[in-house]
Amino acid sequence: MTTGRVLAYGLLGLPLAFAALPVYVHVPRFYAETTGLSLALLGFILLGARLLDAGIDPWLGWLADRVSRRRMVAFALVPFAIGFVALLNPPDSAPALWLLASLALTYLGFSAATVAYQAWGADIGGTPGQRTRLTAAREGFGLLGVVLAAALPGLLASRLDEGIARLSWVLPPLLLIAAVTTFSRVAAGPVIETVSQPLLPSLRRVFADQAFRRLLWVFVANGIAAALPATLFLFFVADVLQLTDASGALLSLYFIAGAASLPLWVRLAARQGRVLTWLAAMALSVTAFAGASLLGPGDLWPFAAICLASGLALGADLTLPAAMAADLGERQGQAGACFGVWNFVAKLNLALAAGLSLPLLGSLGYVPGSGSGLTALTFAYALLPLAFKALAGLLLWRWRHSLETVQ
């Protein structure tokens, strides 16, 4: 497969990830500050919407095995764009209902497009090496989209909340350009003989694969370790570090480091195997993030170093497990079903991180901008993720022999 086709396939990942950062990172604080929703209600809405979103992913994956992947992506992009614009422009009245409805529309379009897009990549990648390249391209462009989403609010307006609202209008043209490029340069791929089964038997077949189950457990632990700081990043930077103005630059540094590291992880995986390479990235992440709990007001450069090192590890987290899942999906003959389950777990991690951590912090006395409850915030942001990352590493090491065959 030519590099041009690989890059053309990956380009669509840019606008999809561009929207993901505001949805998962900015929305909690944006709605808390601009609409006055309590953390408890906000956490409840986010948890409910994300659980609903995650719950339909297995069905969407099953559907993606039975319809044209390309057509499913194209249709899904429309509600995705409409919902995103609505989400970041809440009205003065009924903000809770608006948040729930716009999240539901955004999630539906995003989920359908993402599942079909990932399965499409598994189709056109004929070998494990090609699937790793396609996954790296998709995630690399995705990281560029995240960097854009992190940097633009500060450039579009002097106030962060105004910049986030204006960010919503950047997505539609960006999505159109990327979609036209991807659809015009990348074919549907070879016809894959899928297993024609109803939904429940199809899911049972996914979970009957021991290697996939083990990979999923590692992904769960590692995903929670990433979801907690992602949810609490802006709160930590604003209230513990007191560096609100630097939040965009710090996020950009983190994601730029992740994008820059992708070629390194792809080459290292080709030489050492994907399991050992992923373990090395986990060790780097734990080492880098261990010092975050020691930081206080004004510690810009130490936190920037943490963002840089943990961002380098991010590249492996995004590329290697998804490439392994793509191989297993093709082996089963139902890549859509496998990615439906995969995305369900990824979103469940984010849902639990927001739905449980925000109400818990509120009950422990943390109020954004008040200066109270900062010890609880530091524990949830900096220390709790280390425990889950260590668990993921232990599981991956224990099952390395069975997972090393997924190459």
Q: Is the pLDDT of residue 259 over 90?
A: no
Tell me, what's the pLDDT at 195? 52
CATH architecture of the domain formed by 3-185+202-403: Up-down Bundle (1.20)
What mean pLDDT is predicted for residues 393-401? 93
**Which has more pLDDT, 119 or 177?**
177
* Residue 82 pLDDT class (50, 70, 90 cuts): very high
**What's the confidence (pLDDT) of residue 218?**
95
Task: Inform me whether the pLDDT recorded for 96 exceeds 80.
Answer: yes
- Judge whether residue 62 has pLDDT over 90: no
| 310-333: pLDDT as tens digits | 999 999 998 899 888 888 877 777
Q: Where are the alpha helices (DSSP H) in 290-334?
A: 300-332
Give the per-residue pLDDT at 196.
57
Q: What local confidence, expressed as pLDDT, does residue 407 receive?
A: 52
Measured distance CA(293)–CA(382) in Å, rounded = 5
Q: Rounded to an integer, what distance in angstroms lies between the CA atom of residue 229 and that of residue 299?
A: 17
Q: What percent of the chain has pLDDT over 70?
A: 97
Token representation of residue 201: 């038997």
Mean pLDDT of 128-149: 86
Contact 215, 345 (CB under 8 A): no
| pLDDT reported for residue 44 | 84
Distance, CA of 304 to chain centre: 21
For the chain, what is the mean pLDDT? Answer: 86
For the question of whether the overall pTM of this predicted structure is more than 0.85, the answer is no
Q: Is the pLDDT of residue 287 over 80?
A: yes
pLDDT for position 113 = 94
List the chain domain ranges. Answer: 3-185+202-403
- Cβ within 8 Å of residue 249, ≥6 positions away: 151
pLDDT given for residue 310 in this prediction: 92
Average pLDDT over residues 103-113: 92
Integer Cα distance of 395 and 130 in angstroms? 27
SS3 label, residue 327: helix
Residue 180: count of CB within 10 angstroms of its CB:
12
Mean pLDDT throughout 379-391?
A: 90
Higher pLDDT, 30 or 240: 240
Q: Residue 59: how many CA atoms within 13 Å on its side-chain side?
A: 6
Residue 360 pLDDT level (bands cut at 50, 70, 90): confident
- Checking if the pLDDT of 191 tops 60, the result is no
Q: In terms of C-beta density within 10 A (0-12 exposed, 13-18 middle, 19 or more buried), how is residue 92 classed?
A: exposed
Tell me which residue of 318, 348, 315, 46 sits closest to 224, measured CA to CA: 348
In tens, the pLDDT along 202-257 reads 788 888 888 899 999 999 999 989 888 888 888 999 999 999 888 878 988 888 89
